[in-house]
Structure 1
Amino acid sequence: MIKDSRPGFFPILLLTIIIIGLGISLLRTSASSTTSVESDFWLIYHEQANRQQRTEAVLRLLESKNNVWMGANLTGVTLSGLDLQSAEIQDATLNEALLVGTNLSGAILNRTDLDAADLQNADFLGANLQEVSLLRSNLDGANFELTNLGKASLEQITARKADFSGADLSESHCLMANFTDAVLIDVKFDYANLEAVIFHRSNLTNVNFQGALLLDTDFQDSNWWRAVGINLELQADFQERFPPSEKAPQAFRDDFNAWLNEK
């Protein structure tokens, strides 16, 4: 007589109960996670949240791989040193935010307000910042290589030793901005407002100033003669007022003499 080797009823029932229990647990976890994400999005889109709550909400969203916050209110958040590569934060508010050393390369921040923000040593390589507002922000040592800042407001910023190589600042508003010791090679400043801007010791090689407002602009110890778009009348004026002094880099002084000999 052949013995029946089929499993009994109770083992099958027990296995079924275990599977159902695991399914319910997973559903609860998923629902809880969804609720948490929704709550965090609520915090970054409403004025009732304070700065700490917004910061903590953003950190949790980053952990859950959420980095698209279009129109969000991120006033005063502390995101220094974080990796926000390719984040989409358009039409948002980041006024007074702390973004020291933050990696925002490739990010999209078009029309976002960053007034009075601390962006020291932040990396905006290849980012899109068209029409952003950076009123009185600190950009010292930041990297804006190949960044699109077209029509942006950089009024009263400090950008000492910042790198804007290849950046587009066409039609930007830079009233009283400080670009001391900045690298501005190949920057487009065409039709920009550069009234009372400070370019002390800035590298202006191949910068385009076509149509830019250069009223009371300070080119002390920079290599302004290697820029383009400066008319002959202004060149003659700058030659009188802004010859490189002993404080200028030696390379600038040597190049100025070479430029004079070329004329």
Structure 2
Amino acid sequence: MKRQEALLHLRENSVLKYRVEQIAALHEYLIINRDELARQILSVFKDSCIQALNLQKKCDKGKIQHIHFTFFRHRVINHDASCRIYFYDHQGYMDSVECAKEFNANWVFKFLDIFERQLTQDSKKYVNKIYSADISQIKREEASFYVNYMANLIRHVMKDAVETDEFLALGKDSEVYIRVGEYKDFNELVYKFDSKEQQSAEVRSRLDPNENDQYAHESFKNVDLSHMYFKLVNLCYSHFSKTSLVGSYLVGCPLIGADFRSANLQETSLDYSLIHGADFRGANLCKAQLEEVQGSFVVPTEKEFHIPPFMETNFAGANLEDASFKGADLRGANFRGALLKQTDFSQANLEGASFYLKDIQLLKLNDQQLDGIQVSSND
């Protein structure tokens, strides 16, 4: 076997195997430890806000417009999981006054290190064909799968972080862009903070008709968007908290990670939409239609790596009276504390979904659904 053949054989037989294994381990670890890890990130974020504010008080720092949670690929390759959070003004990377604080992301990258060790062990089968540089290159490529989990945890934390006194005290632009990624390289927008007050009439005129089908990360908080029509409109990670969407149609829309906390979605149709990781906590979904929605939260298999990881679709405390989830994929969803009177889960996949024990008797679930759900007391 020649060197290139050995490399190809290793990639085809070991890389995918160990990728699935270690991402599954990371997934499970974060499910168990998410609250503590979120507190750690929130603490670093608040400390960084204080640092930036102190620089602003000395007139050394302008208004904050960009916040980057940064990892360093060369560090990761060398088993160093220390990352940084940077605060920039409107100049971004050209901001000459550094405001940065380090944090440790070993909780993510330790699984990548295990992957590396497993691959190194397998490489010994190909005597003198595969070098340590080859393993490092594969590890470099694999890092993005692990950073996805860090990005999704930070996105989750930012919903609370932008409401802290430390962040609100900062001098900042009306829009603040929070990103996760490699230092001065590819990064992903995980949260857009928008402090501008919006008027319902202006927002409605902008959205109707939906000539622009891309509204990811946009803020539509606390406005009246009732009886509007959206079809196949990208609303991923958009903010609808405390917004009225009564009687609206969001059919076939990507709503991954969208924030509907305390929104009014009474008689709204979200049929066939993608709601992975969407947050409906405390929302009113009375008589809403969510048939055939896709909202699974699962340990990813080889075929499910395209599904955004690490956040369940959350209906905790929502009013789901007379709502319909016929044929929906709701694996791993959270229904604890939801009002479930006459809620229709016929033919829905509820594997791993969580309910309170007192609510089970209200639901007409078949034996397969009952066997697959997670039941907890409401203490």
Q: TM-score range by the shorter chain?
A: 0.5 to 0.7
Equivalent of 2:313 in 152, 160, 170: 152
Structure 2 CA distance for aligned equivalents of residues 195 and 201 of structure 1? 11
Q: How does 1:122-137 map to 2 (within 5 A)?
A: 122-137=268-283
Q: Is the 8 A contact 1:187 1:206 kept in 2?
A: no
CA distance in 2 between partners of 1:158 and 1:64 (Å): 28
TM-score, normalised with respect to structure 1: 0.60
Q: The residue matched to 2:203 in structure 1 has which SS?
A: helix
Conserved? CA contact 1:146–1:166, under 8 Å: yes
Confirm or deny that 1:79 pairs with 2:240: no
Q: Is the 8 A contact 2:210 2:230 kept in 1?
A: no
Among 190, 202, 207, the residue aligned to 1:56: 202
The structure-2 alpha-carbon separation of the partners of 1:64 and 1:133, relative to structure 1 and needing over 3 Å to count, comes to closer
Matched to 1:193, the amino acid is S
Given that residues 175 and 197 in structure 1 are in contact (C-alpha distance below 8 angstroms), is that contact kept between their aligned partners in structure 2? no
Higher helix share: 2
1:207–1:122 distance in 2 versus 1, CA, 3 Å: farther
Q: Which has the higher strand share?
A: 2
Q: Distance in 1 between matches of 2:265 and 2:358?
A: 19
Give deviations 1:120-177, integer Å, cap 9, x for gaps.
0001111111100111101100001101122201101111111111111101111111
**Residue type at the aligned position of 1:146:** E
Counting aligned pairs with the same residue, the percent is: 18
Which TM-score applies when normalising by structure 2? 0.42
Does the C-alpha gap of structure 1 residues 204 and 93 become closer, same or farther in structure 2, counting only changes over 3 Å? same
Q: Which runs of 5+ in 1 are unaligned?
A: 1-41, 218-263
Q: Name the amino acid aligned to 1:89.
A: L
Give the superposed CA RMSD.
Answer: 2.3
Partner of 2:355: 194
- The C-alpha deviation readout for 1:55-98, integer Å capped at 9, x for no partner, is 51342243361232001111112111111121110011111110
Verify: 1:184 aligned to 2:323, yes or no: no
SS in 1 for 2:194: coil
Task: Give, in angstroms, the shift of residue 200 of structure 1.
Answer: 5.8
Give ranges in structure 2 of 5+ residues lacking alignment.
1-174, 176-191, 297-311
Aligned runs of 1:66-145 on 2, under 5 Å? 66-145=212-291
Q: 1: CA distance between counterparts of 2:232 and 2:205?
A: 16
**Which one-letter code corresponds to 1:50 in the other structure?**
E
Q: Are the equivalent residues in 2 in contact too, given 1:105–1:123 (CA < 8 A)?
A: yes
- In the alignment, which residue of structure 1 is the partner of 2:323? 162
**Distance change in 2, residues 1:203/1:115 (3 Å):** same
Flag the 1:99–1:170 CA change in 2: closer, same or farther, 3 A.
same
The secondary structure found in structure 2 opposite 1:104 is strand
Q: Write the distance in 2 (CA, Å) between the matches of 1:57 and 1:125.
A: 23
- Secondary structure at the aligned position of 1:74 is classed as coil
Query: How big is the shift at 1:216?
Result: 3.7
8 Å CA contact retained: 1:147, 1:168:
yes
Counterpart of 1:203? 364
